Structure 1
Amino acid sequence: MKALKYINILITGIFLMSCDDQIYPELNDAPEVIVVDAWVNNKPEDQIIKVTRTQPYFDNSESVGVAGAEVYIVDNEGTRFDFVESTNGAYVWPYATETFGTVGNSYSLTVVADGNTFTSTSALNRVPTVDSVTFRFEKESAFGTEEEFYMGEFWSRDPEGTGDTYWIKSYKNGQYLAKPGEINIAWDAGFSAGGAIDGLIFIPPIRDAVNPFDEDPNEEDTFLSPYEDGDSLYVEVHSITPAAHNFLTQLYIQIDREGGFAALFDTPLSNVPTNIVNTTSDDIALGFFCVSAVEGNGKRLDVSQVPQEE
């Protein structure tokens, strides 16, 4: 039995050593594909749609924009919004005095580029108000050390009636929390359609997902407090379509990868499903079109105003 145990250890050691070898696969360049990044909302600011081309997998340079495209949106009432070409594939609807869109309307996107016409549709759904943003003090003990945190959260109630979907965006000191693991989406007041959580305040994991958890560069396996005295937190709730909720779910799966040995068991890399349709030819496009209503609220942390445990 001991011999069998030693053999198992030896085999495991050989397997782990074999995982140390790095490989650099040569990938054939795939044909370029147009990408339409069309997330439009009713915030009082310019709305931007980006039309770019795909690039090789290991190319980390900025995507190349598509010039000379025609980009416009038409709502169900016949109002047309023309997006004017700016730089590097950005097409802008300039905000003047009126915000884009009306809740309850539907919108059709058209992009004409490279001899092809790409189309998509989206509804502009309702969004709840963000009643407040608050902070709380927490103390945790682990491995003989005690850590203190200031955590932020937002308070908002999903309206009654199932099927509302949201993308919650958070900003610390004006900086958008854009890490893959910080994608925060909700179906009604919970995570998914099967949760049956309707007409309630968003559940705690969604409220708490507005906190950044960064490792302390000076101490291994230690995390910094998400917020310190004087830091600000601003939270926006964007209404999205169920299709956009699925798109962001799949996007999260594709890009939130820790690497290492566990990566062997991750879902294989693949293109995320798109709602951009080529009506001219069989050439595919990537990207997504969604129109959102937005509500937000924020607060600056004053530790003297936060109750602390005795």
Structure 2
Amino acid sequence: MKALKYINILIVGIVIMSCDDQIYPELNDAPEVVVVDAWVNNKPEDQVIKVTKTQPYFDNSESVGVTGAEVYIVDNEGTRFDFIESTNGAYVWSYSTEAFGTVGNSYTLTVVAEGNTYTSVSELNRVPTVDSVTFRYELETAFGTEEEFYIGEFWSRDPEGTGDTYWIKSFKNEQYLAKPSEINIAWDAGFSAGGAIDGLIFIPPIRDAVNPFDEDPNEEDSFLSPYEDGDSLYVEVHSITHAAHNFLTQLSIQTDRPGGFAALFDTPLSNVPTNIVNSTSDDLALGFFCVSAVEGNGKRLDISQVPKDE
């Protein structure tokens, strides 16, 4: 009986793995919802807030912008920052001589659009400096072949005092690494509040998450070196709120889905949280508002300057 039981389990497993036919379910169109994408920072450049509408699930076209909105931010000292409408739902605060915001202040976003008023609050928290960006050499043996890798990492120390949260953004040859699997966030110098890693240099998994590990299109089960001679790596550390850390955590869970058989065990799809509140009606809004302080540093790889352990 036990043998028969195991055979049945094996048959069921084979049937499940063989069910790879694509299906195209018909979904009813949901009502449009306003989306406020408001990630603002203190870099010396123009700041952009996007106000758009949601689209049907299978619609891959560009989001439709909301026009004619009033968009502004006011800090706790009463300073107002007006965002002027540009194109397709983009509203811009133009940088002149001073960057946006002051560390330690709180900021209230207001968006008046289509008869509704949407609000949200964020704090501009401290951020550590990025002392340096370096590269190291690694020689890996897999499937009988040796592969050379040049790995980038950044060096930064979380300031003393628990509760700092960050979003680490990486740019290879000035191109932002924007895959869902490349979302790199930290709580103090570690991954989460329970890690109790405060006032230290960011732990290695966070430092190493600035590397793009792409599969080699010419060789199966092989990866390309994240960086080659002459490539550049630029790393930015953005301070974020605890709510933003939770938002990015959930965003990563919902979007980093490799598919295949393992998808059967993924976390069920759901909406990510939002801190955008409609103070006029019960109509929902999506998106997020966060104000960040930013520090960055970068380097170009010169393989002649990277030590190779013998």
Distance in 1, Cα, partners of 2:271 & 2:250: 9
Distance in 2, Cα, partners of 1:2 & 1:108: 64
Give 1:14's aligned residue: 15
**1:97 alignment partner, SS class:** coil
CA deviations over 1:169-218 (Å, ceiling 9, x no partner): 00000000000000000000000000000000000000000000011111
Report whether the alignment pairs 1:189 with 2:192. Answer: no
Give 1:280's aligned residue: 280
Distance in 1, Cα, partners of 2:30 & 2:139: 51
Give the 3 Å change call, closer, same or farther, for CA 308–111 of structure 1 in structure 2.
same
**1:108 alignment partner, SS class:** strand
Q: For residue 13 of structure 1, what is the amino acid of its counterpart?
A: I
Compute the RMSD of aligned alpha carbons.
Answer: 1.3
Q: For residue 37 of structure 1, what is the amino acid of its counterpart?
A: D
Give 1:123's aligned residue: 123
Report whether the alignment pairs 1:57 with 2:57. Answer: yes
Distance in 2, Cα, partners of 1:30 & 1:94: 35
CA deviations over 1:123-168 (Å, ceiling 9, x no partner): 0000000000000000111221111100000000000000000000
Residue pairs, 1:133-172, within 5 angstroms: 133-172=133-172
Give 1:173's aligned residue: 173
**2:14 alignment partner, SS class:** helix
Report whether the alignment pairs 1:254 with 2:254. Answer: yes
Give 2:34's aligned residue: 34
CA apart distance, 1:24: 1.2
Give 1:264's aligned residue: 264
Give the 3 Å change call, closer, same or farther, for CA 96–257 of structure 1 in structure 2.
same
Give 1:296's aligned residue: 296
Distance in 1, Cα, partners of 2:99 & 2:235: 19
Number of positions where the alignment pairs a residue of Structure 1 with one of Structure 2:
309
Q: Percent identity?
A: 86
Give 2:200's aligned residue: 200
Q: For residue 101 of structure 2, what is the amino acid of its counterpart?
A: G
Q: For residue 155 of structure 1, what is the amino acid of its counterpart?
A: W
Distance in 1, Cα, partners of 2:28 & 2:299: 50
Consecutive unaligned residues of structure 1, counting only runs of 5 or more, are none
TM-score by length of 1: 0.97
Q: For residue 108 of structure 1, what is the amino acid of its counterpart?
A: T
Distance in 1, Cα, partners of 2:273 & 2:27: 22
TM-score by length of 2: 0.97
CA apart distance, 1:8: 4.9
CA apart distance, 1:15: 3.7
**1:92 alignment partner, SS class:** strand
Distance in 2, Cα, partners of 1:99 & 1:164: 22
CA contact (8 A) 2:17 2:261 kept: no
Give the 3 Å change call, closer, same or farther, for CA 237–6 of structure 1 in structure 2.
closer
Give 2:76's aligned residue: 76
Give the 3 Å change call, closer, same or farther, for CA 251–6 of structure 1 in structure 2.
closer
Give the 3 Å change call, closer, same or farther, for CA 24–293 of structure 1 in structure 2.
same
Give the 3 Å change call, closer, same or farther, for CA 276–7 of structure 1 in structure 2.
closer
Give 2:241's aligned residue: 241
CA deviations over 1:270-306 (Å, ceiling 9, x no partner): 1111000000000010000000000000000000100
Give 2:132's aligned residue: 132
Distance in 2, Cα, partners of 1:277 & 1:7: 52
CA apart distance, 1:221: 1.0
Report whether the alignment pairs 1:108 with 2:108. Answer: yes
